[in-house]
Amino acid sequence: MTRLFLDVERSALGRSWRDRLDERATARATAIAQRHNVPELLARILAGRDVAVDDVDAYLDPTVRRLMPDPHALTAMEPASLRIADAIVRGERVAIFGDYDVDGATASALLARFLRDAGLDPMVHIPDRIFEGYGPNVDAIRALADRGATLLITVDCGTTSHEPLAEARRLGLDVVVIDHHQADETLPDALVVNPNRLDDLSELGHLAAVGLVFMTVVAVNRVLRERGFWSDMRPEPDLLSFLDIVALGTVADVVPLRGLNRAFVAKGLVAMRARERPGLTALMDVARLTGPPEPWHLGFLLGPRINAGGRIGRADLGAQLLLTDDTAEAARIAAELDRLNRERQALELAMLAEAEAEAMAALGLEEKGAVVVTAAANWHPGVVGLIAARLKERFNRPAFAIALEPGGTGTGSGRSIPGVDLGRAVRQAVAEGLLLKGGGHAMAAGVTLRRDAVAAFRAYLETELSDTVEAARAERSLLIDGAVSAAGANVALIETLSRAGPFGAGNPEPVVALPAHTIAYADEVAQVHVRVRLRSGDGAMVNAIAFRALGQPLGRALLEGRGQTVHAAGTLSIDRWNGNERAQLRLIDVAPVDPRIRP
């Protein structure tokens, strides 16, 4: 365990603050700063992400070409790419079956755009979340077969869809699965490209489905080039131009931003800033995105709007938006997604209030228990994943939200905390007969169960996960990358630190501490956030905001601490308003200052 940072043993959120760097990493940071002539804080950030001294230049400029492995490293990629290339050369009718989330929409749109560039007119089917559920289903596959499909490609789904894909084979369709969800020992009757299948040695399990589709497109394009398919009449597409779509799906699916994923997002953001794709441009406009797009814009502004179609609207709206080249059509779809997102937000607020009340009643005043499992009959099944995420944040435990349906079943989503594998627990619950079906990742899972099995499922999770949850919660330290003052927290510093980005899952935004700053101003904003101004001892000020903190321990500490001197911790961002840029600290914690220390 690293040393305490600013001697903070217990913050407003009950955490200790610790230096992200141990002695060895601190020495590496010094070497990075000296050899590469970079600021000390940037050097500390790089060292804290295990960047070697010799790898700094390459890390600061991640490129897809350099980081892209041979696609054939993925099991089944070679026969899969050959089959897709054959379909292109023969002009076959290809059906794409995608998931209804952002990763599924972007993966479907990317594959469809490439097939269109190759002269095909693929069918794209995104299942309705409520009426069809997740993944391929027999009725949809029969409909695609009736429309003449000879090749079915599933993206972001299909790895566990044995019966539907068996039906596809019975109907004469060949099947390619491009997926990243965890796999069982037995795979369906298909060419399954999935880095998380048990016999895959590619070590690419951190890729989102849209990243795997991009690798598939690279492999197919190579086959077509070798066959002399491209010509002056049909020019070879620029595959790097698809990276804006890849970046959106990668960030929205919260996969680790390391290696190839980091390059996808870094170069995808550059492509997105050109505003050359009508669908993404329209989406940025309705989201009122100011300034160049950043990773958090993709995760919190663009992604939720595409997701809104799959959650409470028409499931294929996101994919259609990314597929259209008509600016008027793009504006129409983006406006509809924006409307659905506002409707989703209202639903979420009402559901969250119910879920939090149920969770607090179950956990008790001392908040005992390893997991949070909530369920209600009036909840919209398309929003339960968001509720689970909020409950996980609020209670720092794995959480499930389940929508109980009239037919006696319930569908729900779960979100986990680092160190607790929720997907494995859910698959085991399916094996033991507690769930009708379920699966997912370590950090997120989906379930279908009988409504009278909710209590048994909750009890199972308590028993199965209690030890790992206790261990994960025991280390509640906040890792700090370095310290700055209000005067030093400026736009120039933020732009310098951004060189270590893009930041997101697996490459967390740097957390900086502002030692001994006075809370000069604090007040609520939008009935949910807390806005703050922090003043350093030399009189310099910096704006700060604590998102969704009102009524929570952090919000109370800020509002009750007006005029007091505290250590503040958060992430720095650029606040753009009316053409002006200024630094803003997104507060994530505060801690009392030792009374012997004066600002």
- Per-residue pLDDT tens over the stretch 531-562: 999 999 999 999 999 999 999 899 999 999 99
CA distances from 166 to 139, 483, 491 (A): 13, 58, 56
Find tokens 């002009």 and name the residue.
Answer: 91
pLDDT digits (tens, 9 = 90+) for 459-503: 999 999 999 999 888 777 999 999 999 999 999 999 999 999 999
The SS3 of residue 153 is strand
Quick one: residue 35, left, alpha or beta (phi over 0 = left, psi -120 to 50 = alpha)? alpha
d(CA 94, CA 374): 41
6 C-beta neighbours (distance < 10 Å), count:
18
d(CA 329, CA 150): 30
Pairing of strands 444-450, 580-592: unpaired
Query: What CATH number belongs to 67-337?
Result: 3.90.1640.30
Residues of the chain with CATH 3.90.1640.30: 67-337
CA distances from 243 to 86, 218, 225, 237 (A): 25, 12, 20, 13
In eight-state DSSP terms, residue 301 is I
d(CA 154, CA 124): 10
Find tokens 């998931």 and name the residue.
Answer: 99
Q: Contact at 8 Å (CB) between 63 and 263?
A: yes
Residues of the chain with CATH 3.10.310.30: 364-474
pLDDT digits (tens, 9 = 90+) for 300-332: 999 999 999 998 889 999 999 999 999 999 999
d(CA 329, CA 26): 53
d(CA 385, CA 397): 15
What CATH class has 17-58+478-592? mainly beta
The SS3 of residue 407 is coil
Residues of the chain with CATH 2.40.50.460: 17-58+478-592
In eight-state DSSP terms, residue 134 is S
pLDDT digits (tens, 9 = 90+) for 381-393: 999 999 999 999 8
The domain at 364-474 falls in which architecture? Roll (3.10)
Q: Residue 598: its pLDDT value, please?
A: 45
Query: Order of strands, edge to edge, in the sheet holding 123-125?
Result: 123-125, 94-98, 151-155, 174-178, 191-193
d(CA 402, CA 414): 9
Q: Residue 364: its pLDDT value, please?
A: 81
* Closest to 165 in 3D by CA, of 196, 195, 140: 140
Q: Residue 111: its pLDDT value, please?
A: 98
Average pLDDT, the chain: 94
